[in-house]
Amino acid sequence: MTDSEAGARPRSAARGAEAVLRHLFDAAVDSARPARCIPGWLPPAPTGRTVVIGAGKAAAAMAQAVEAHWSGPLSGLVITRHGHVVPCRRIEVAEAGHPVPDRAGLCATERMLDAVRGLTADDLVICLISGGASALLAAPPPGVSLEDEQRLARDLLRSGATIAEMNCVRKHVSTVRGGRLAAAAAPARVVTLIISDVPGDDPSTVGSGPTMADPTTREDAMAVLARYGLAAPASIVRWLADPASETPKPGTLDDGECHLIATPQKAIEAAAAAAHDLGYAPLILGSAIEGEAREIAKLHAGIALQVRQHGQPLPAPCILLSGGETTVTVSGSGRGGRNAEFLLALAIELDGASATYALAADTDGIDGTEDNAGAVIGPDILQRAHALGLQGRESLVRNDAYSFFERTGNLVVTGATMTNVNDFRAILIERPQIQGGPRA
């Protein structure tokens, strides 16, 4: 077998299974698109001004949806990741760096603060928040440089900390996150519309809760740094030791109205309905699963093998669905996000289990910092990789799942989806068949 033959796309059965998995992923993403979610949640127009602000990977698409369904005067500014812009006519869209803050985000955040200063109780602020807002809202506190915040962001991303832990720190090293944006907009009425990308859907965690009172403390933030052995820049250590770093707490801040307009659970339910329509029994394992990607892969593999071998907790043909946000503690020098790492670990645990396929992808279209949303695997993935000179376990040790799936041709590339309801995972288990492909 030549390298080109080994790296070719899977056989017809696998292609059919991949098409089913991609259909489920698309159903999950479509359920969370701003054009579908925004209209039913818009508040009544105020007697004064309406200012739209916000940040996140879906911010531009959310702003566009507001414009399409708002007939009165409208102005404002939202910040989105580079490459996630959609055209708006009345709301300015700024692009900035993610997942590490940059100077563009710093400038845009200051202009956003200017947009809400001096408002009155007759005015309305519509705040549009989605995943990614933490990095895009760059506003280091006094004495902390942008470079120091960038170093902190990189260290947190590599540490294995959960999104809630990372955002606890981010909220306390900022002049806009953790409720401070709502404080800046007072006394205007604030209505926050959120597309959640965090396990548990805590509004104060999504995007580091810029308009939400913060229940965490600066002591909690310092504990996160200690827990993961992170040596923060001296300027950040000094700031966290200062009582001024404390965020507005529940009962001390009027954070207005808040609505979760799209969540991981709703997205997984949309995928489950699509699976049912295709004749597969869906089983939702959870929409808020956290933990190391390779450990979560072992758990999923165990359930899949129980189905494969014993028809429990349900018989094939079925599809196991889950969401949430895994973490990767980076020790190698390879490339790959948490979804690719999950899938590579899953393939190793499944070890070629027959008629078993899986897809894992980030619903925003970007797995970590790469250009893929995730990847897809079938029973022959390790065999094909071996023919290409790749060893799955070695790639996993190097945190090099992207390169592994790039070589085998199994990356899932969608481009920016303009929404973000966290990770999507689906494992399709067919009845073993002697002839023919999977159900479609």
Q: Tell me the pLDDT band of 1, cut-offs 50, 70 and 90.
A: very low
Q: Are 173 and 240 in contact (CB under 8 A)?
A: yes
How does the average pLDDT of the chain come out, rounded? 94
List pLDDT tens digits, range 234-259.
999 999 999 999 999 999 999 899 99
pLDDT, residue 236, reads 98
Torsion angle, alpha carbons of 346, 16, 11, 437, to 10 = 100
Q: Tell me the pLDDT band of 104, cut-offs 50, 70 and 90.
A: very high
Q: Has residue 10 got a pLDDT over 70?
A: no
Q: Round to whole Å and give the CA distance between 327 and 293.
A: 6
End-to-end CA distance of the chain: 30
Q: Tell me the pLDDT band of 9, cut-offs 50, 70 and 90.
A: very low
Q: What would the two tokens of residue 112 be?
A: 């956003």
CATH, range 3-31+264-429: 3.40.1480.10
User: Which H, E and C letters describe 262-294, residue by residue?
Assistant: ECHHHHHHHHHHHHHHCCCEEEEEEEEEEEEHH
pLDDT, residue 333, reads 86
Residues forming beta bridges with residue 194, ordered by sequence position? 129, 260
pLDDT, residue 12, reads 57
Q: Round to whole Å and give the CA distance between 195 and 54.
A: 11
For the chain, the domains span: 3-31+264-429, 35-262
- The CATH number for 35-262, chosen from 3.40.50.10180, 3.20.20.60, 3.40.605.10, 3.90.79.10, is 3.40.50.10180
Question: How many residues comprise the chain?
Answer: 440
Torsion angle, alpha carbons of 259, 265, 266, 267, to 10 = 120
What are the residues whose beta carbons fall under 8 Å from the beta carbon of 86, sequence distance 6 or more? 60, 61, 64, 93, 418
List pLDDT tens digits, range 278-330.
999 999 999 999 999 999 999 999 999 999 999 999 999 999 999 999 999 98
Q: Has residue 437 got a pLDDT over 50?
A: no
pLDDT mean over 178-194: 98
Burial class (CB in 10 A: 0-12, 13-18, 19+), 388: middle
